[in-house]
Amino acid sequence: MADPRFYNRLGLLSLEEIAALTGAAISDSGAAKQVVESVGPLNTASTGQLSYADSEKALSALPDKDFQGVVIFTRPELGEVLTQKGAIVLSHPSPRAGFSKALASIFKIKSFDQKEAIHKGAIIPSSVIISPNVVIGEGAELGESVTIGPGAAIGPGCKIGANSRIGAHVTLLCTEMGENCNILSGAVIGESGFGVAISPDGLVDVPHLGGVVLGNNVTIGANTTIDRGVFGMTRFGDDCKVDNICHIAHNVTVGNNLVMAGFSGISGSTTLEDGVMFGGRVGLSDHIHIGKGATIGSNAAVMADVPAGETYAGAPAQPIRNHMREIAELRRLVRNKTKTKKKS
């Protein structure tokens, strides 16, 4: 469910209303008046929850799951399989798009709906230093001796641990951070990520109803962005150091002691264990796993899992010894070709 610190529930929708809103067909007409109680991904689906399944692959990953009473947007050809598993099916040619339209009518992120710059409902100790032109939303909670730079915006419900520093023009939304964090100027933490559903009617934005959690002693560089989760949290452990102009997508999970050089990016739902180190301009694919203590060389494009303790480089990335052998072999081939041309 969407965290009530960050999101408002707009109301309860029945399956009949969802079908009218999205153009879906209900598999069980007797369930038309049933109200959706919660929303979430398929792997955590329970009775009364609204989810979606847009491929056989999504279902095959959960072969033994009971979908009794779960409301699922899915393609017409997958409807029978889900019905047999007890689900109430909303048949739609683009399940993710239909699900997203329904979601946007059930939850909405809390915005700065306030006349005063600092909301009266914010919790701000006397030791906090607030620069000019700062906006702080309802229910935000600041720890002792926090410093907020000029022009920063702290969204409703956000929590900032003691002795943390928020730089100029930083934006925090749907974020909870620990103590002694340092967020440099222009960073944006907790905005919606790049989620787009394709439908016959065009592109539909996928609402992000999660948040961001940062541990203690985390530094986030200038103009770096960290997206909130679609469901659940994008997470950073303690003592992570992220350089300027980096991007971390939704639902990424990072352990402790990450070191990430500038212009690097991590795609959605990727997991990094403790002690991972990046050179500059590294790119990681989505849904992969980077093992404990792994090192990724500059300009690497990582498309698959990296084992713990390994050093990878290249595009696509591979163990650095293999990468260096390939470079050496290419240079040898070029030299030989050059010699052959001179002789001829």
Q: Which residues are catalytic?
A: 250
Question: What distance in Å separates the CA atoms of residue 208 and residue 141, rounded to the nearest whole number?
Answer: 22
User: Whose CA is closest to 236, among 178, 321, 172?
Assistant: 178
Q: In angstroms, how far is the first alpha carbon of the chain from the final one? A: 73
Dihedral sign from CA coordinates of 113, 132, 120, 190: positive
Question: What distance in Å separates the CA atoms of residue 20 and residue 278, rounded to the nearest whole number?
Answer: 48
Instruction: Name the amino acid, one letter, at 208.
Output: H
Q: How far is CA 21 from each of CA 25, 88, 98, 250, rounded to the nearest angstrom?
A: 11, 17, 9, 27
Phi-psi category of residue 48: left, alpha or beta, with phi > 0 → left and psi -120 to 50 → alpha: left
Q: How far is CA 244 from each of CA 186, 290, 312, rounded to the nearest angstrom?
A: 10, 21, 22
Q: Where are the extended beta strands (E) located within 17-173?
A: 25-26, 38-39, 49-53, 71-74, 88-91, 107-109, 129-130, 135-136, 141-142, 147-148, 153-154, 159-160, 165-166, 171-172
